[in-house]
A and B are shown apart, each in its own frame.
Chain A
Amino acid sequence: MWYYEMDGAAQGPVSESKILDLIDQGVVTRQTLVWQDGMADWVPAAQTDLIASAGPPPVRSQQAAGWDPEPEQTYAGPVDNHLVKAILVTIFCCLPLGIVSIVYAAQVNGHVQAGRRAEALEASANASKWANWGLIAGLVIGVLYILYLVVIIGFAGMGALDSY
């Protein structure tokens, strides 16, 4: 199972065939950081055998590359701690999932501060995952609740008709 980095957050897990599709679609590029179990740290996809098995690397002229074919070896973009989502889940969905997400958010900030990028991305993925579960659970409960209201009001309406 692979994880890949997008907009500063870890995505995944995805299967090997899925990530090869993403490489074909250009979503995961040679510079995209990827990671799988057993790897010490996140590395650009170009340094794994994913790119080799996904077909030849793109041809680029040395002029276009500015004499620097791998400019993003040490990528240092932002990492999101997803705290806004975590708080929304805590106050609107009434579920302890938001609290779990806040714990991971705090870990993201700590890892970023200490320069532990791989751990930060992993904590970021967890913060996002728990908050998303909370949002999904909240939405499902909300939709079921609305259906329940519709049924109750429907029965009440029929009862009112019966009494005539």
Chain B
Amino acid sequence: MSALSRRAGVVLTSGVALLGAGVYFWLDPAASGLFPKCPVWLSTGWFCPGCGTQRAVHALLHGRILEALSFNLFAVLALPYLAVGLWRMGRRMWTGSSSQRALAPAWTVWLFLAGVLAFTLWRNLGGPIGSWLAP
């Protein structure tokens, strides 16, 4: 890929992300019928690990962190990691270098996976904590 097309990709992706942030700032996914519903929830009635992300993003953009956490704890906690990862990915695309940090020990990723699965299960079980974890 040429430097120009790589950089155009970075600019385009950032532009779409900014546009999306604008949409999720001005419109409330909880109140507007315009936003897509989760296909897993629609077809099975179960909450997937991503359910509530749209409402959480809206709450976060308005500075309501506790509300965002209760819509989707996992998505909000993953945001700092995603932000750093996307920044590095964008920088690699921009400069064309393949430099990359060493990987974390495997058990951290397995623990993370266990956390995601436990979160998904718990938010479907109900109860005082489960209903807070549910979107």
Q: Quick check: A109 and B50 within 8 Å, CB to CB?
A: no
User: From DSSP, what is the main secondary structure of chain A's interface residues?
Assistant: helix
Query: What residues on A are CB-neighbors of B99 within 8 Å?
Result: 78
A4 CB, nearest partner CB in chain B, Å: 14
B78 CB, nearest partner CB in chain A, Å: 5
Query: What residues on B are CB-neighbors of A98 within 8 Å?
Result: 49-50
B103: contacting residue among A81, A88, A99, CB under 8 A:
A81
Write the chain B residue with the least CB distance to A106.
B109
**How would residues 74 to 118 of chain A score, 1 for a CB under 8 Å from any chain B CB and 0 otherwise?**
000111110110011011111110110011011111101100000
B3 within 8 A of A: no
B100 within 8 A of A: yes
- Alpha-carbon separation in the docked complex, A90 to B72 (Å): 12
B104 within 8 A of A: yes
- Alpha-carbon separation in the docked complex, A90 to B115 (Å): 13
**How would residues 73 to 84 of chain B score, 1 for a CB under 8 Å from any chain A CB and 0 otherwise?**
011001001100
Interface range, B side: 35 or more
Q: Quick check: B39 and A106 within 8 Å, CB to CB?
A: no
A139 CB, nearest partner CB in chain B, Å: 11
Q: Quick check: B98 and A78 within 8 Å, CB to CB?
A: yes
A142 within 8 A of B: yes
User: From DSSP, what is the main secondary structure of chain B's interface residues?
Assistant: helix
Interface range, A side: 20 to 34
Given A80-B100, A109-B103, A94:B39 Cβ within 8 A: yes
Write the chain A residue with the least CB distance to B104.
A109
Query: What residues on B are CB-neighbors of A102 within 8 Å?
Result: 109, 112-113, 116
B31 within 8 A of A: no
A141 within 8 A of B: yes
Q: By CB atoms of chain B within 10 A, which of A80, A93, A94 has the most? A: A94
- Alpha-carbon separation in the docked complex, A77 to B92 (Å): 15
Q: Quick check: A109 and B82 within 8 Å, CB to CB?
A: no
**How would residues 40 to 83 of chain A score, 1 for a CB under 8 Å from any chain B CB and 0 otherwise?**
00000000000000000000000000000000000001111101
Query: What residues on B are CB-neighbors of A112 within 8 Å?
Result: 103
B48 within 8 A of A: yes
Query: What residues on A are CB-neighbors of B41 within 8 Å?
Result: 94
Q: Quick check: A94 and B100 within 8 Å, CB to CB?
A: no
B40 within 8 A of A: yes
Q: By CB atoms of chain A within 10 A, which of B34, B41, B50, B112 has the most? A: B50
Using CB atoms and an 8 Å cutoff, list the residues of chain A in contact with chain B: 7-8, 77-81, 83-84, 87-88, 90-96, 98-99, 102-103, 105-110, 112-113, 141-142, 145, 149
